Structure 1
Amino acid sequence: MTNQPTRRRPRPSEAEPQGFPARRAALRLLDAVLRRGQPLEQALGAAAGGLALPADRGLAHNIAALTLRHLVDLDALIDGATRQRLPDDAKARMVLRMALAQALLLETPHHAAVATALPLVDGGPRKLVHGVLSALLKQGAALPALPRLPGETEERWRAAWGDEMIAAASAAIAERPPLDLSLRDRDATADWTERLGGVSLAPGHVRIGADADVTALPGYGSGDWWVQDLAASLPARLLGPGNGRTALDLCAAPGGKTMQLAAAGWHVIAVDQSQRRSERMRANLARTGLDAVVIQADLLSWAPEEPVDAILLDAPCSATGIFRRHPDVIHRIGPRQIAEMAEIQAALLDRALGWLKPGGRLVYATCSLEPAEGEAQIAALLAHRRDIAPVDIDAACLPAGIPVTAPGQVRTRPDLLADLGRLDGFFIALLSRTEPV
């Protein structure tokens, strides 16, 4: 019998430390976001696919998200402790970011942060990582209370919105935002506010704490409400009661606005290109007991059979307005992506307006803090479409503290409702078709 080589068992010191698989998944997540430009939530499935326990999956996501929230300041600590600057995409830098985030933000014991970091750089500069970590932790390194934004993002937003918004954005990304719930029955707002122990900022809305276990709350299983940021609920609110009229909800998944419109009495035709997201929308409709026609289609080739009374176009965008929920966006999105999205938005907006009855109304919305995807988009549209006009927005349709910023326009930013938990960044325009094209 031929002798087979035996595999050497690792010594105890070489065995994977407790919690290492979650850290390895977190490293994969950061690599997917920062090197390959993938959204954090989209990358989670592949990065954490080998984790059997939901708690490990949650830890991996939390480490990656916290690292992204404080990335600029973590890099400043690292650069201050190295003689030569590590490349932005170097594994050593990624591991140092993660380990420091755990030690300084999650209060992970220092020895555990180091022990789970070093195996991640096997075959790499372990001594460098160990030395930098040890030096910084012994020195009592600390992060500022308010994280700094990436330089390019900060410059762009300061030019658009000023210093006050930059300070608000830093405060917003420092903490997890509260959860907003939209109610199926707006007349039951007081009852659900009491039952859920929250606060209501508008009819049909309840705001609760960020740490709530959504699926365990009363009303989830019975479909009495769904999670939807208050800013994201504004576009559908502007269309008012449906009274059986027909509305198109375009780019509709996962269905929050579709459910709002259905609950307000609209006959809704909801269109989205993604099969997975359309299936999720159908599940949400089934849970809430609300009705809508769901169509999976590309809006650049699909068209309705006849003109409709109202259209809600929640256009694809950079999503920079939801940075406090998805901190990866401010590290992935730049001028090129914004310009590409603006081009798609213009094409969709121009096409959708052709499906509107004369006198009908269209709401255009983006979850973006970029003027190119909001104010500039509407200015360009109105300059070349003489059949389209802004519609005055009744301030009574908006929660207190959210102003109308221009005729037919609302802009939400994180400096609004600061003492009540803030808002995501949205741009919303209400338009009417005044005559046939």
Structure 2
Amino acid sequence: MPIRQPSATTVDPPGVPARRAALKLLDAVLRRGEALEAALAGATRGVAGADRGLAHAVAAEALRRLPDLDALIDAQTRQRLPDDAKARFALRIALVQALALGTPPHAAIATVLPLVDGGPRKLVHGVFGSVLRAGAQLPAIPTLPPETATRWRAAWGDAAVAAAARALAAPPPLDLSLKDEGGAAMLGGRSLAPLHRRLDDAGPVTALPGFGEGGWWVQDLAASLPARLIGAGAGTVLDLCAAPGGKTCQLAAAGWRVTAVDASESRLARLRDNLMRTRLVADVVRADLLDWAPPAAADAVLLDAPCSASGIFRRHPDVLHRVRPAQIAEMADLQTRLLARAADWVRPGGTLVYATCSLEPEEGEEQAGRFMAARLDFSLAPPAQGELPVAAAAQGWVRTLPGTLEADGGCDGFFIARFRRDR
């Protein structure tokens, strides 16, 4: 699907640059398999600030509702449009605005027709009008992409798939991890665990009490669980794949001497910003963990391994469409190698925590099982009763799924296992 760029003498009408950027974002995710956030800078180059935000919002909502948008389009066409047809992309953008984002229909269609100049403008206009005249609506609960639903149903059952669809229906709450309990009262909201606040309709993060003072950082409750399993201490801890730094801040605030390691300089810049704002201290190292090694074994090691990230679909719906079995297998192989290296960096008697923000068993339960079979010098250390705000699985590790804490606003999908090095 070639995307037409305006010529040097062409100026898009108001509103069109945002929709053109949204088209580029959808193309990057659906055709090239890029992450939505990674594609944002390139897709919105030259687009003004407000339009940049609008482009992101339109693309993200279209990805959240994609199967249902496509069903509406297909119901009004005699021949099914190819998945990568520009007309289908334009219709997705127009319909999600009119049916989900509250854009007046005339504005929704007028701002996408220039995207198909020289192409099927009449088709796009006609299908859009037919959908609206039919009184079509998007379902209250979005439909998961069939491949994702099939994969998760096989792993977790129908209830988890239904809960995942419900989780897509509304923006998730904002979770904050606190440096200490001093500022909790000013933030309001509710607490689901020590040093945690959950806010609904929080507004701009930077306007919340305590932001400038560094009293907290944004971190989904599930993402805070791995560091909670290490707890407080005064020894040395390695935070591996540490950026953007939520776990580093947790560990530093809990008294540990932290070395935070990550391969991405841009992500480490965010980690350093978080440390500066919170006035917490850690040694920051840019390194590839397959090449790097610490000078000495640590009392604790936290490996939040690279993964498919399918567990963060509530905030990043692009993962529903990008993650495929081949990518899961590739990530699982990398995790196995990283886990083997990280284990060697734990002193006898020390703690190793392995975590992924994935809903794929290959990146969680199966990984832990292989590790325990290969490393008889480690044993699983299940969380004690009441240690975490969620229950451990019968095997002794922690798995959060769609539906976990749903009555309280839910949480991301995570796998966490804590091991002790016995010798």
Normalised-by-shorter TM-score class: over 0.9
Following the alignment from structure 2 to structure 1, what is the Cα–Cα distance between the partners of residues 169 and 59?
14
Aligned residue runs from structure 1 range 364-403, under 5 A: 364-399=354-389, 402-403=390-391
For 1:17 and 1:298, the matched residues in 2 are separated by 46
Indicate the residue corresponding to 1:320 in structure 2.
310
Q: Does 1:91 align with 2:86?
A: yes
Say if 2:102 is the partner of 1:107: yes
SS at match of 2:125: helix
TM-score (norm 1): 0.93
Tell me the distance in 1 between the aligned counterparts of 2:306 and 2:12: 42
- Whether 1:346 and 2:341 are equivalent positions in the alignment is no
2:401 aligned partner, one-letter code: R
Q: CA RMSD in A?
A: 1.3
Q: Counterpart in 2 of 1:257?
A: 247
SS at 1:248 equivalent:
strand
Does 2:44 align with 1:37?
no
Equivalent residue for 2:138, pick from 140, 143, 152? 143
Output one character per residue of 1:104-145: Cα deviation in whole Å (capped at 9) or x when no partner: 001211111110111110111111111100111111111111
Alignment partners' CA distance in 2, 1:322 and 1:392: 24
Report if the CA contact (8 A) 1:177-1:210 is conserved.
Answer: no
Instruction: State whether structure 2 residue 405 is matched by structure 1 residue 409.
Output: no
Number of aligned residues = 416
CA–CA separation in structure 2 for the residues paired with 1:196 and 1:420: 17
What letter corresponds to residue 282 of structure 1 in structure 2?
A: R
Whether 1:59 and 2:47 are equivalent positions in the alignment is: no
Q: For 1:208 and 1:270, how far apart are their aligned partners in 2?
A: 28
**Residue among 410, 413, 418 paired with 1:425:** 413
Q: Distance in 1 between matches of 2:418 and 2:391?
A: 14
Letter in 1 for 2:79: Q
Calculate the TM-score normalised by the size of structure 2: 0.96
1: distance between equivalents of 2:385 and 2:174? 24
Shift of 1:345: 0.2
Give the conservation status (yes or no) of the 8 Å contact 2:391–2:398: yes
CA distance in 2: counterparts of 1:265 and 1:407, whole angstroms: 30
Shift of 1:211: 4.7
Note if contact 1:147-1:173 (Cα within 8 Å) is conserved in structure 2. yes
Residue 203 (structure 2) aligns with: 212
CA contact (8 A) 2:236 2:258 kept: yes
Partner in structure 2 of residue 357 of structure 1 = 347
**Residue 161 of structure 1 pairs with residue 153 of structure 2:** no
Please tell me whether the aligned partners of residues 177 and 195 of structure 2 are also in contact (alpha carbons under 8 angstroms). Answer: yes
SS at structure 2 position matched to 1:95:
helix
Report the CA distance between 1:392 and its aligned residue: 2.4
The equivalent of 2:301 in structure 1 is 311
Aligned to 2:235: 245
Q: Secondary structure at the match of 1:397?
A: coil
Aligned mates of 1:90, 1:210 — CA distance in 2: 37
Consecutive aligned runs of 4 or more in structure 1 exceeding 2 Å deviation: 15-18
Letter in 1 for 2:149: E
What is the rounded CA distance, in whole Å, between the counterparts of 1:106 and 1:377 in structure 2? 41
Q: Which residue of 2 aligns with 1:229?
A: 220
Match of 1:3 in 2: none
Q: Determine the C-alpha separation between the residues in 2 that align with 1:57 and 1:207.
A: 28
Q: Please state whether the residue corresponding to 2:270 is helix, strand or coil.
A: helix
AA matched with 1:51: V
| 2:60 aligned with 1:71 | no
**In 1, distance between residues paired with 2:350 and 2:295?**
16
Distance 1:169 1:253 in 2: 26
Residue 3 of structure 2 aligns with which residue? none
Return the alpha-carbon distance in structure 2 between the equivalents of residues 282 and 18 of structure 1: 38
1:4 corresponds in structure 2 to: none
Helix, strand or coil at the partner of 2:399: strand
Counterpart of 1:169, as a letter, is A
Where in structure 1 are there 5+ consecutive unaligned residues? 1-6
Task: Determine if contact 2:87/2:124 at 8 Å carries over to the other structure.
Answer: yes
Amino acid across the alignment from 1:293: D
User: SS state of the match for residue 244, structure 2?
Assistant: coil
- CA distance in 2 between counterparts of 1:265 and 1:210 reads 32
Measured against aligned partners, the alpha-carbon deviations of 1:319-343 in whole angstroms (never above 9, x if no partner) come to: 0000001000010001000000000
Give the Cα separation in 1 of the matches to 2:414 and 2:241. 16
Instruction: Return the letter of the residue paired with 2:419.
Output: L
Mapped contact 2:161–2:402 kept (Cα < 8 A): no
Change (3 A) 1:211 1:131: farther
Match of 1:238, SS state, is helix
CA distance in 1, matches of 2:362, 2:186: 42
| SS of aligned partner of 2:230 | coil
Distance 1:68 1:270 in 2: 33
Once residues 374 and 406 of structure 1 are traced to their aligned partners in structure 2, the CA distance between those partners, rounded to angstroms, is 15
Deviations 1:299-354 (A, max 9, x none): 00000001110000000000000000100001000100000000000000011101
CA contact (8 A) 2:69 2:138 kept: yes
Amino acid at match of 2:105: H
Distance 1:407 1:166 in 2: 22
Which has more radius of gyration?
A: 1
Question: CA 1:211–1:283 in 2, change beyond 3 Å: closer, same or farther?
Answer: same
1:152 lines up with 2:147 in the alignment: yes
| Aligned residues of 2:23 and 2:90 also touching (Cα < 8 A) | yes
| Percentage of pairs with the same residue | 63
